[in-house]
Every structure is written in structure tokens, then in C-alpha cells.
């Protein structure tokens, strides 16, 4: 097979590091041509990765970090660049496989841009599908590009659907660990701190998605992601709490059969599947001993405990730009919670308030979906969220 050209957006994050780990195990610079790696303020680590993988280009998202990145790359052949335009330029560089692992709506523009070059986009950035699903899929289609899901649930669904017709699917069930507070009494949630919300019972992930797991906003995003990527009726998509996080998703077919995807909670499985697709290669994930595990548990995903799930249903029903508003409001609410301006349960209040305000006229559902419109709604939702936060914080 020809050497593949690889780019990683968000290389220094949790998904990015796991991707670098797999690439390194599969031969690193000897086996792949690494085109570009991007990161944020952690320029020392970005430079280290770029040197080790002999990347052509390293990009920090922040212009003020350019000098440090340049200094960290001194004496190497890696080019340094910074800022949004540099990320776009990196997305324009020809590559065969691109990992989209920036966190938040910031991951959308580079991924969208890369698709226009007909690449394969391994999509960890679920926000891209939540904010602009139909646009992302149409762009991929128009340019002969492919999107491979990396979120563990969606990789699981994708794998369960190999050789199947989507019309034969009756239901899709994604599992949720329940996050940090799944066993807390309901009335204690209001006082949960960012520290308490930042530890996950099963998965080791970036801080933002870990807090989103505790609030179930992560599962809310994933329900929408499922609808957008697989194109199924929202009524057929369910979430169930599964504390062990060993089954990642289940697909039920019209004949009553259910295919479950089972594996350890290690993102290197889903990343490695997307990296090696359509082949399978050995991956360094733990092998399950089912007799040792003994039992798997399930319970309903309670919308009273996790109002984010109810909001996700409303977003899926409304469609259009509602996902962009939902995601931006969620990101702003999360920032406010991490900054201790609002309480844990107030995040959902902020998001609901923003959705209410922005859906008063029909802008969210009637405007055609374009990247400009998505970014505009993102901006409006963050402004509305800032007002909602101020009202709650005063």
C-alpha cells in the first residue's frame, strides 16, 4: 500500500495523543507521511510530536504562541504556523487521512475545509455533526470525501452496520456510563463542583467532555450525532445507562436481532478502527475476560436527572440550525460552570433559555444551512448564553 499522508487536528489533546500513539506503534515516520499536526497552548508537546513524526508543519491555534512554537522547533525541518488561517491552510494541504480532534465548534471549519479536498476525515469532533450535520455530509458527498466516525458509540454503530441495510434498522441504542454523578441524590447535583464533575468513572478524556458526561450533554450531543451521521428517525434512537461502559452501542434490526459492540473503554479501539479501515489490525487494547466481568448492568437514562437528554430530543425534532445554537449555548454554559459563575444544574437552564430565545422567530429552522449561518448562530447563541449566565450569577 502507498504511504498514507496523515494530518491531525487537535494532536495534543486526549484523542490526538491516542492517535499519535497508534501511528507511532504502526511505524510512525517510517510508515506514514505526516503532513500537519495542530495543537493549542501546549507548544512544547506539539513540537515534540512533530519532531518524532517528522511532520511538515505544526500549527498552534493561538497567534501569541507562535514564537514559542518556532523556538521549540528550532533546528528541525518542521515548519511552524499559528492562528485560524494557518489551520485552514493546513486543511488545504493534501492528505489521505485527517483526524478531526479539536474540541468544540472550533473543529468545524478545518474539517469542512479538508472535506473539500476529497480526503478521509476521521471525525472525533462530534460538534461538527451537531452544528452542521447535513452540510458536512453534503460537502463530503460533493467532493468524494469520506467521514469515518471516531466517537466510540458511533464507531460501534458503524461496525454493527457493516454488511447491513440502514432500512433494516429498527432502533439504535447508545450507552452512557452516567458520568461522575450517576449515583448522587438528585438534590445534591446543584452543588456539584467542577473538580467533582471532572473525574470520569470509566473513561480518561479531555476535561470538557468529562464534565459533559456528568451532565449528559455529551450523550445529548451523541444522540444528535447519531441522527445526523446515520440519517435515522430520532424516534428510533435511544440512550441507556450502562455503568460498566463495555457495550458502546447496540443496533436493533426489523427481525428483532440486536448487534452489540463490546470492548474495553479505550478510545484507541475506535481511533485504530478508523485509521485502519476497511482493514482490521492488531490494536493495543485490553482483551475482555467475560467470566471475570460477570455481569453487565443497564438502567433508564432519566431525563429528570439529565435534562440535556430532553433538550436533545427537541433539537433533533427542530433540526436546521438548532444544533448549532444548542452546542454553542452548551459550550458557553460549560465555560461559566468551570469558572464557577453558575452551578452544575444551571448549565441546562442556560441552554434551555437560549434555545427558547433563539427559536422565537424561525431563523433556526427556516434559514438555509451554510457555514456562515452556522457561525452566525453560534455567535448569537453565545451572546444569549452570556446574558442568561449573568442573570443567574447576579
Strand partners, 122: 99, 148
155 is in an annotated binding site: no
Does residue 176 interact with ligand NAD by CB under 6 A?
A: no
Which residue is closest to ligand NAD by CB? 13
Smallest distance from ligand NAD to CB 55, Å? 14
267 is a contact residue toward ligand NAD (CB under 6 A): yes
Q: Which three cell numbers stand for residue 184?
A: 448522587
State which of residues 106, 136, 157, 197 lies at the interface with ligand NAD (CB under 6 A): 106
Residues in the chain: 394
Of 35, 40, 53, 344, which one interacts with ligand NAD (CB under 6 A)? Answer: 40
Q: Smallest distance, Å, CB 153 to ligand NAD?
A: 8
User: Residues 76-105: x/- map of binding to ligand NAD (CB under 6 A)?
Assistant: -------------------------xxx--
Cell of 114: 479538508
Side by side, the strands of the sheet bearing 169-176 are 258-262, 247-253, 169-176, 237-241, 299-300
* E strand spans, the chain: 4-9, 32-39, 57-60, 79-82, 97-100, 120-123, 146-149, 169-176, 237-241, 247-253, 258-262, 299-300
My answer on whether omega of the bond before 140 falls inside 30° of 0, hence cis, is: no
Q: How far is residue 322's CA from residue 326's CA, in Å, rounded to a whole number?
A: 6
Q: Is 366 annotated as ligand-binding?
A: no
Asked if 127 is part of the footprint of ligand NAD (rule: CB under 6 A), the reply reads: yes
Q: Tell me whether residue 270 or residue 316 sits nearer to ligand NAD (CB atom).
A: 270
Query: Among 134, 201, 206, 234, which residue sits at the site for ligand NAD (rule: CB under 6 A)?
Result: 206
Q: Strand, coil or helix: what is 149?
A: strand
Nearer to Mg ion, 153 or 353 (CB): 153
In the range 59-78, which residues lie near ligand NAD by CB under 6 A?
A: 61
Query: CB under 6 A: which stretch of 123-131, 132-140, 370-378, 384-392 binds ligand NAD?
Result: 123-131
- Pick from 124, 172, 239, 251: which binds ligand NAD (CB under 6 A)? 124
41 is in an annotated binding site: yes
CB of 206 to ligand NAD, least distance (A): 3
All three cell numbers of 388, joined, read: 442568561
128 by DSSP, 3-state: which? helix
Q: Which is nearer to ligand NAD, 154 or 353 (CB)?
A: 154
Shortest Cβ distance from residue 167 to ligand NAD (Å)? Answer: 28
> What string of DSSP letters covers 68-122?
HHHHHTTTSS-EEEESHHHHHHHHHS--SEEEE---SGGGHHHHHHHHTTT-EEE
Q: Which one of residues 39, 133, 179, 307 is an interface residue with ligand NAD (CB under 6 A)?
A: 39
Asked if 17 interacts with Mg ion (CB under 5 A), we say no
Contact 57, 81 (CB under 8 A): yes
Nearer to ligand NAD, 103 or 384 (CB): 103
Give helix then strand counts, H and E, for the chain. Answer: 18, 12
178 binds ligand NAD (CB under 6 A): no
Contact 344, 197 (CB under 8 A): yes
Which residue lies nearer to ligand NAD by CB, 156 or 364? 156
Among 151, 212, 331, 353, binds Mg ion (CB under 5 A): 151
Q: Which residues of 310-332 are buried (b: 16+ CB within 10 A; e: fewer)?
A: ebbbebbebbbbbbbbbbbbbbb
Asked whether residue 330 is marked as a ligand-binding residue, the answer is no
Does the annotation list 200 as a binding residue?
Answer: yes
Q: What's the angle, vertex CA 174, arms to CA 8 and CA 183, rounded to 5?
A: 105
Binding site for Mg ion (CB under 5 A): 151-153
Binding-site residues, in ranges, read 12-15, 40-42, 125-127, 151-153, 177, 200, 206, 213, 218-219, 222
Binding site for ligand NAD (CB under 6 A): 10-16, 39-40, 61, 101-103, 106-107, 124-127, 151, 203, 205-206, 208-209, 267
Amino acid at each position: 500500500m502507498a504511504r498514507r499522508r496523515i494530518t491531525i487536528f487537535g494532536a495534543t489533546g486526549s484523542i490526538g495523543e491516542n492517535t499519535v500513539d497508534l501511528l507511532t506503534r504502526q511505524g510512525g515516520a517510517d510508515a506514514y507521511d505526516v503532513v500537519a499536526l495542530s495543537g493549542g497552548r501546549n507548544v512544547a508537546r506539539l513540537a515534540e510530536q512533530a519532531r518524532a513524526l517528522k511532520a511538515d508543519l505544526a500549527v498552534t491555534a493561538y497567534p501569541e504562541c507562535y514564537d514559542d512554537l518556532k523556538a521549540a522547533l528550532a533546528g528541525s525541518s518542521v515548519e511552524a504556523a499559528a492562528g485560524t488561517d494557518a489551520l485552514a491552510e493546513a486543511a488545504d494541504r493534501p492528505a489521505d487521512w485527517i483526524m478531526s480532534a479539536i474540541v468544540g465548534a472550533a473543529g468545524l471549519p478545518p474539517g469542512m475545509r479538508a472535506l473539500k479536498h476529497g480526503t478521509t476525515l476521521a471525525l472525533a469532533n462530534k460538534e461538527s455533526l451537531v452544528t452542521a450535520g447535513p452540510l458536512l455530509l453534503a460537502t463530503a458527498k460533493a467532493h468524494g470525501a469520506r467521514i469515518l466516525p471516531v466517537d466510540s458509540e458511533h464507531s460501534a454503530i458503524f461496525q454493527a452496520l457493516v454488511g447491513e441495510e440502514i432500512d433494516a434498522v429498527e432502533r439504535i441504542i447508545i450507552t452512557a456510563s452516567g458520568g461522575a454523578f450517576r449515583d448522587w441524590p438528585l438534590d445534591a447535583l446543584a452543588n456539584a463542583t467542577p473538580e467533582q464533575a471532572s473525574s470520569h468513572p470509566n473513561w480518561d478524556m479531555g476535561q470538557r467532555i468529562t464534565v459533559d458526561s456528568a451532565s449528559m450533554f455529551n450523550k445529548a450531543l451523541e444522540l444528535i450525532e447519531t441522527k445526523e451521521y446515520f440519517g435515522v428517525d430520532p424516534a428510533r434512537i435511544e440512550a441507556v445507562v450502562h455503568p460498566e461502559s463495555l457495550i458502546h452501542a447496540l443496533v436493533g434490526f426489523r427481525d428483532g436481532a440486536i448487534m452489540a459492540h463490546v470492548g474495553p473503554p479505550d478510545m484507541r479501539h475506535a481511533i485504530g478502527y478508523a485509521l485502519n479501515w476497511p482493514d482490521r489490525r492488531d490494536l493495543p487494547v485490553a482483551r475482555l475476560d467475560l467470566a471475570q466481568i460477570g455481569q453487565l448492568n443497564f438502567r433508564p437514562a432519566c431525563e429528570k436527572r439529565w435534562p440535556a437528554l430532553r433538550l436533545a430530543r427537541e433539537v433533533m425534532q427542530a433540526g436546521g440550525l438548532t444544533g448549532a445554537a444548542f452546542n454553542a449555548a452548551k459550550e458557553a454554559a460549560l465555560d461559566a460552570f468551570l469558572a464557577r459563575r453558575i452551578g452544575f444544574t444551571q448549565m441546562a437552564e442556560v441552554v434551555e433559555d437560549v434555545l427558547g430565545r433563539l427559536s422565537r422567530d424561525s431563523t433556526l429552522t427556516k434559514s438555509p444551512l451554510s457555514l456562515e449561518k452556522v457561525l452566525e448562530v453560534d455567535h448569537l447563541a453565545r451572546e444569549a448564553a452570556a446574558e442568561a449566565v449573568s442573570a443567574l450569577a447576579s
